[in-house]
Amino acid sequence: MLAVQVLINALVLGCLYACIAIGFSLVWGVLNVINLIHGSFIVLGAYLAWGAYQWAHISPWYALLFAAPLFFGFGYLLQRLLLNRVISAPVLVTLTLTFGLDLILNNAMIYYFKADYRKLTLSPPTGSISLFDVVVPVDRLIATASALALTGLLYLLLRRSKVGRAIVAVRLDRDAAVLMGVDVKSIYAVAFGLGAALAGCAGVLMALIFPISPLTSSAYLGKAFVVCVLGGLGSVSGALAGGLLLALVEGIGSVYLGPAHATTLSFVLLIVFLVARPQGLLGRKGFE
């Protein structure tokens, strides 16, 4: 039974990890920017859900609806006004720029919300389902379903819509996309906005499960890194595969080695993957 429980936990957690990483992966794949502000976006989304519930009694499910456009606008403007200026500069410059942005956002959150851990507690609590000996909390289950739904939405957007096709085109070959009449600068901004919106929504879902504090942003960012590298960059299915693999390894690792070593294990896995298979589980070589 323990094995089944570990497996179910990994499945639930893996979808959430995928949701954390997918926006990050999109920005990295399309813009070739490592977006260090991603973790703080997630925490900001969590605070949004927490604040909406605490002050206006808006359920987190509805918070998703206004978190997405809000974060999209924020991300779009950030890219348009700041990042597009240095987008063609070397890795170091864009990375350091997003680091600076992250310092500002994180400091602002510590300033306004303090570094205390908060928890969004739904009342009445949703309880948990137990089937034989396997226990799954309902709020986690709903969060996972929402995460999957968000992932599916992004997949459809990239597949079916005109903007989505343009984003994929820019990711595959920027110069050819320009020749086909795609406005690369605005596609960059849309992609960054989408990444931010996904981060915000992931944050809303995280608020249901994990405690909220500005200090957790680097942990989210670390997960996003690992998932991206494990699964392969910029693809929806890659993020899902990476998230599930990471959750599985962490789950098995904490059962057999103890939870203290789970993070170490995930980063060791990251380094092994980077060295042995930098294109990720589902990525194709020469595609990054």
Partner 1 sequence: MTRANFALLILIVIVASLPLFGGAYALRVGTLACMYAIFALSWNVVGGFAGYPSFATAASFGLGAYVTGILLNNGVPLPAALAGTFIALFLGAVALGAVLLRLRGHYFAIASLSLVEVFRELINNATDLTGGGMGLNIPLASSSGILADAMFFFYAMWGLLVLTALVVIVVSVSKLGFGLSCIRQNETAANMVGLNTTLYKSIAFGLSACFVGTAGGLYAAWVHYIDPSDVFDILYSVKPIVMALMGGLGSPLGVVCGAFLYLGLEEVVWRNYIQIHSGVLGVLIIVLLLFLPHGLISLRWAMVWRKVKHA
Residues making contact with partner 1 (CB under 8 A): 28, 32, 34, 82, 85-86, 89-93, 95-97, 99-104, 106-108, 111, 218, 222, 225-226, 229, 260-261, 263-264, 267-268, 270-271, 274-275, 278, 288
CB of 180 to partner 1, least distance (A): 26
Whether 142 and 136 have beta carbons less than 8 Å apart is answered as: no
Whether 68 and 75 have beta carbons less than 8 Å apart is answered as: no
Q: Which is nearer to partner 1, 176 or 272 (by Cβ)?
A: 272
DSSP secondary structure string, 217-236?
Answer: HHHHHHHHHHHHHHH-SS-H
Query: For residue 124, what are the contacts with CB-CB under 8 A and spacing of at least 6?
Result: none
Q: Which is nearer to partner 1, 205 or 227 (by Cβ)?
A: 227
CB of 259 to partner 1, least distance (A): 10
Q: Which is nearer to partner 1, 31 or 199 (by Cβ)?
A: 31
Give the Cα separation of 16 and 195 in Å (integer). Answer: 15
CB of 152 to partner 1, least distance (A): 27
Q: Which is nearer to partner 1, 122 or 268 (by Cβ)?
A: 268
Q: Which is nearer to partner 1, 205 or 229 (by Cβ)?
A: 229
CB of 9 to partner 1, least distance (A): 21
CB of 112 to partner 1, least distance (A): 11
DSSP secondary structure string, 88-151?
Answer: TS-HHHHHHHHHHHHHHHHHHHHHHH-S--B----SS---EEEETTEEEEHHHHHHHHHHHHHH
Query: For residue 104, what are the contacts with CB-CB under 8 A and spacing of at least 6?
Result: none
Query: For residue 179, what are the contacts with CB-CB under 8 A and spacing of at least 6?
Result: none
Choose among 50, 49, 41, 110: nearest CA to 72: 41
CB of 176 to partner 1, least distance (A): 21
Q: Which is nearer to partner 1, 122 or 271 (by Cβ)?
A: 271
Cis peptide preceding 124, ω within 30 of 0? yes
